[in-house]
Amino acid sequence: MSDLHASIPVVEALIFSAGSPIGLAQLKRVLPDLSSTQLRSIVGEINRALEQEDRPYEIAEVAGGYQFRTRPEFAVQIRALQPERKLRLSRAALETLSVIAYRQPITRAEIEDLRCVDCGAVVKGLLERGLVRIMGRRDAPGRPVLYGTSASFLERFGLPSLRDLPELRELEGLEEERGTAQHEDDGADTAPSPTATSVDESDGDGLAPAEPPESMEPEPREPPEPEGAPPR
């Protein structure tokens, strides 16, 4: 138990110094004698101490790892001090992101079938912001590009994994909580246009499929219905 207690400040220092969420495997490289259960226990002990000391931050489980984050109740004050730190996603971007998250891997044509609007500009914007990634190509005529969410998506919304996906309304609430009063132009929905494409959808070299990490395997779930969609 004394060894476990001595490891508490080490774990806290490792998580604090990491620039992105740090997983159990990374912690074990530094502390190989500790099991995953012991490491989780240490994180819980740190959070209990922070809560008792009424600290404005905590260790959150995000994107398959641990990261220090300010508590949600301080979001308003933080936005007031840093109004341009992060721009909110538009409604169109949130709806498209929701469809991709629940149905990944998914093609652009399938996204547009579900949303009933052209999504080329929106998908391109999500790719540029690192919230969506290219997972490869579907083995079908034309070999269309397959899209999925990234670890940055989980990190932005404070989700441990895709198994913790909320409904669209909850996703909007998380974005409101973590965003700012400003609104980001992600590319509004427009009429279909042959030039509105996020990447080269035609077959070709130079696009290597990306294997999704194990922690990002989603559970089958129906996506939320976007507003204005015709009844099925």
43-71: pLDDT as tens digits: 999 999 999 999 999 999 988 899 998 88
> For position 158, what pLDDT does the model report?
81
Report yes or no: 172 and 94 within 8 Å, Cβ to Cβ.
yes
Measured at the CA of 143, the angle between CA 142 and CA 148, to 5 degrees, comes to 135
> For position 180, what pLDDT does the model report?
36
Stretch among 95-99, 107-111, 115-119, 183-187 having the lowest mean pLDDT: 183-187
> For position 155, what pLDDT does the model report?
85
Tell me: the pLDDT tens digits for 24-33?
999 999 999 9
Rg, C-alpha atoms of the chain: 20
> For position 136, what pLDDT does the model report?
94
SS3 label, residue 133: strand
Can you list the domains of the chain with their CATH numbers? 2-70 (1.10.10.10), 91-216 (1.10.10.10)
> For position 24, what pLDDT does the model report?
93
Residue 221 confidence (pLDDT) above 70 = no
Grade residue 91 by pLDDT with cuts at 50, 70 and 90.
Answer: confident
Residue 156 confidence (pLDDT) above 60 = yes
> For position 64, what pLDDT does the model report?
84
Burial of 211 (0-12, 13-18, 19+ CB in 10 A): exposed
Grade residue 1 by pLDDT with cuts at 50, 70 and 90.
Answer: very low
Stretch among 99-103, 147-151, 190-194 having the lowest mean pLDDT: 190-194
Q: Sign (positive/negative) of CA torsion 198, 202, 205, 211?
A: positive
Q: For the residues 199-216, what does the mean pLDDT come to?
A: 42
Q: State the virtual CA torsion across 91, 97, 99, 100 in degrees, nearest 10.
A: 160
Nearest of 109, 107, 114 to residue 136 by alpha carbon? 107
Q: For the residues 90-107, what does the mean pLDDT come to?
A: 90
What percentage of the chain reaches a pLDDT higher than 90?
41
Q: What is the pTM of this model?
A: 0.53
Residue 198 confidence (pLDDT) above 90 = no
